[in-house]
């Protein structure tokens, strides 16, 4: 049995939609008080209202993780509202697709600004509060794309998701004396609001390429993040866990057909 996370203060960047909203919902369901962060209040306020109403409180804070001052403010507002920060889920990320031959310098700068710099600035801003917690936890949302797999159009995205893992390994060493752990979740293909735009054919193809023959849910990712946040996971740091229904395992199409 895990020690309950009731009353812990959790900050989820990109918690207003998709995977981050799923992570926030799982933590709130476990009794934690959660701040969800995004740039757009028109999405963030209703998301927080939807997630509230359970055991844990949920509040929206507007911030852009590309900006150091915004990251400092989101951390300060979380401390003010919930008395500290026990868990940071640095999840905000973007994934525009563009082939290498058409990629501009600004395409590269933009994606690194959110996915890499944004993750690092978020962690840095929350460090003092995480240290005061005495059992601080950081969970990064990386991806299978980059660290393990590739997909045309996402070479820059894959580079950012692999960069997050490079960051976490040294951060884990630096943060260990402060009793802060840092780990990463690597989602496969997850059902989010954006999936519908890709059409039913895309979804069917993806399902066929996954040994469990289903896409992941945002709760699948939330539960893995929740585990890293428990007291019982205190000796795990610098690690990355794949949550993908076995998607990265088949060595070829034949391996799936032989199932």
State the catalytic residues.
157
Of the candidates 105, 165, 158, 135, the residue with the CA atom closest to the CA atom of residue 235: 135
- H-assigned helices in 52-198: 68-82, 105-112, 118-133, 155-175
Considering beta carbons, is residue 9 or 63 the nearer one to ligand NAP?
A: 63
Tally of CA atoms within 13 A in the half-sphere of 160 that contains its CB: 25
Q: Does 181 bind ligand NAP (CB under 6 A)?
A: no
Q: Find the part of the chain contacting ligand NAP (CB under 6 A) among 26-34, 52-60, 63-71, 129-137.
A: 63-71
User: Taking CB under 6 A as the rule, which mask of x and - marks residues 75-94 in contact with ligand NAP?
Assistant: ----------------xxxx
Q: Quick one: which of 5, 8, 10, 18 contacts ligand NAP (CB under 6 A)?
A: 18
> What residues contact residue 101 under an 8 Å CB cut-off, 6+ apart?
none
Q: Find the part of the chain contacting ligand NAP (CB under 6 A) among 39-47, 77-85, 125-133, 232-240.
A: 39-47
Q: Quick one: which of 7, 31, 39, 153 contacts ligand NAP (CB under 6 A)?
A: 39
> What residues contact residue 89 under an 8 Å CB cut-off, 6+ apart?
10, 11, 12, 13, 15, 20, 23, 24, 27, 138, 139, 141, 225
Q: Quick one: which of 118, 136, 146, 245 contacts ligand NAP (CB under 6 A)?
A: 118
By CB neighbour count within 10 A (0-12 exposed, 13-18 middle, 19+ buried), where does 180 fall? buried
Is residue 61 within 8 Å of 74, Cβ to Cβ?
yes
Considering beta carbons, is residue 18 or 56 the nearer one to ligand NAP?
A: 18
Question: How far is it, in rounded angstroms, from Cα 164 to Cα 221?
Answer: 17
User: Taking CB under 6 A as the rule, which mask of x and - marks residues 123-162 in contact with ligand NAP?
Assistant: ------------------x-x-------------------
Residues that bind ligand NAP (CB under 6 A): 13-14, 16-20, 37-40, 43, 63-66, 91-95, 114, 118, 141, 143, 187, 189-190, 192-194
């Amino acid at each position: 049995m895990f020690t309950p996370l009731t009353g812990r203060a959790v900050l989820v960047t990109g918690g207003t939609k998709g995977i981050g909203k799923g992570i926030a919902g799982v933590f709130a369901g476990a009794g934690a008080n959660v701040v969800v962060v995004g740039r757009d209040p028109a999405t963030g306020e209703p998301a927080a209202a939807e997630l509230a109403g359970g055991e844990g409180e949920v509040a929206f804070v507007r911030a852009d993780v590309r900006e150091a001052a915004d990251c400092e403010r989101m951390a300060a507002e979380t401390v003010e509202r919930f008395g500290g920060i026990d868990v940071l889920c640095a999840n905000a990320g973007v994934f525009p697709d563009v082939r290498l031959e058409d990629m501009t310098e600004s395409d590269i700068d933009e994606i690194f600004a959110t996915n890499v710099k944004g993750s690092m600035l978020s962690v840095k801003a929350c460090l003092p509060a995480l240290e005061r917690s005495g059992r601080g936890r950081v969970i990064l949302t990386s991806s299978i794309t980059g660290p393990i797999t590739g997909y045309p159009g996402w070479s820059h995205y894959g580079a950012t998701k692999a960069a997050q893992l490079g960051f976490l390994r040294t951060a884990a060493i630096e943060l260990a004396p402060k009793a802060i752990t840092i780990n990463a979740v690597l989602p496969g293909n997850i059902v989010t609001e954006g999936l519908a735009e890709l059409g039913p054919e895309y979804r069917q193809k993806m399902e066929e390429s996954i040994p469990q023959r289903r896409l992941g849910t945002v709760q699948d990712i939330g539960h893995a993040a929740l585990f890293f946040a428990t007291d019982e996971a205190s000796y795990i740091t610098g690690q990355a866990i794949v949550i993908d229904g076995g998607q990265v395992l088949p060595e070829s199409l034949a391996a799936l057909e032989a199932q």
